[in-house]
């Protein structure tokens, strides 16, 4: 959220500066309202810069990702250490299903050792 908020802030401030520079010596009410709207957008973006608003998952990597449907299920509880994030839990499930020592090693192709004749 930080990068998007910073980008939104920069855009709003640039737009506000452009609008303020192009105002006539006697701005109309519409000109002033347009400038106020852009400045409010900049203020909203600036106030959300430091906010730590975790999404529904509470995951720092995937804050707006999908919530694991098994999270909080009393009949089929998640293992210890699993959170709400479906993406992280899926990665953990895959790692648990294939421990590093049980993974098969790739075999070399039988023709890789032969040289190509010119």
pLDDT at position 118 over 70: no
Run of H or E residues at 14: helix 2-21
**pTM (predicted TM-score):** 0.43
Q: What is the mean pLDDT of residues 10-28?
A: 91
pLDDT digits (tens, 9 = 90+) for 44-99: 888 877 666 567 888 888 888 899 999 888 888 888 889 999 999 999 998 887 76
Q: How much is the pLDDT for 53? A: 58
Instruction: Identify which of 19, 9, 84 has the alpha carbon closest to the alpha carbon of residue 44.
Output: 9
Q: Are 57 and 64 in contact (CB under 8 A)?
A: yes
Judged on CB neighbours under 10 Å (0-12, 13-18, 19+), 68 is: buried
Residue 112: per-residue pLDDT: 62
CA distance 86 to 20: 47
pLDDT of 23 above 80? yes
């Amino acid at each position: 959220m930080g990068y998007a908020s910073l980008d939104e802030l920069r855009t709003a401030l640039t737009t506000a500066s452009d609008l303020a520079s192009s105002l006539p010596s006697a701005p109309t009410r519409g000109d002033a309202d347009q400038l106020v709207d852009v400045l409010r957008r900049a203020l909203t973006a600036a106030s959300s810069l430091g906010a730590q608003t975790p999404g529904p998952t509470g995951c720092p990597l995937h804050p707006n990702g999908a919530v694991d449907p098994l999270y909080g299920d009393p009949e089929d509880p998640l293992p210890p250490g699993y959170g709400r994030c479906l993406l992280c839990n899926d990665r953990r499930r895959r790692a648990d299903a294939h421990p590093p020592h049980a993974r098969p090693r790739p075999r070399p192709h039988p023709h890789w050792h032969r040289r190509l004749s010119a």
